[in-house]
Amino acid sequence: MIPLRDANPSATRPFVTIALIVLNSLAFFYEIALSERGLQQLFFTLGMVPARVGLFPAHPDVTFGDAVFPLFTSMFLHGGWMHLIGNMWFLWIFGDNIEDYLGHLRYLFFYLLCGLGAGITHTLFNWGSLIPSIGASGAVAGVLGAYLLLYPKHRVLTLIPAFFLFMVELPAVVILLYWFVIQFFSGAASIGAEGGGVAWWAHVGGFVLGFALVKRFRGRPRRPAVHYRIVD
């Protein structure tokens, strides 16, 4: 199922969502300008390597920056056009409403925190792996988890590829739970497997964190302004 748009207009312009899409796109354009060797070095330096996280702080050659900084920089790197487009497409469809709900600054911190939690989850399930993990999907999964909690009944126009392509409006809960179940069981099937591939547990961790934190992250709603007139 491929979501095309949701019937859930936001009241504010999603400046942070747009900025995140632009930053991810600019980072990818930088990637494709590199040589193959330069790209591999970039991924290993700024991608999240579970073994490097596991060595900190016991190994003297692994600094705090080596272990923690890539948990954030890896969110802005992608392995190909479809990887980038898929993540940014989901962020564009679902991110504006979460930004509208949280406010711009809280939304940015929420997004980064979900990405951080996704990276930690991936590390725990791939302890000792030397394969860099890259992509915004863990942070975007947090946005999806938040959307599921806040707007489960909102309709989403969805493209369904079966024997032929057709479009149908489905409640967000159907699409997002379907997506989550795929991530969870794919992650379970990947336990113990060697080699690269999709960071399924990063998706699961980001989604669960977004679902759990979005209402706590909003804080107290603002009180409406009170207008009054002094009467002599």
Which stretches in the chain have pLDDT values below 70?
A: 54-61, 163-164, 192-196, 219-232
Q: Which domains can be identified in the chain, with CATH numbers?
A: 7-151+200-218 (1.20.1540.10)
- The distance in angstroms from the start CA to the end CA of the chain is 65
Report CA Rg, the chain: 20
**CB 145 within 8 Å of CB 169:** no
Classify residue 18 by burial, with Cβ atoms within 10 Å: 0-12, 13-18, 19+.
middle
The structure's pTM equals 0.88
Which 3 state secondary structure label does DSSP give 218? Answer: helix
Classify residue 103 by burial, with Cβ atoms within 10 Å: 0-12, 13-18, 19+.
middle
Sequence-ordered list of residues with C-beta below 8 angstroms from that of 22, at least 6 positions apart, any chain: none
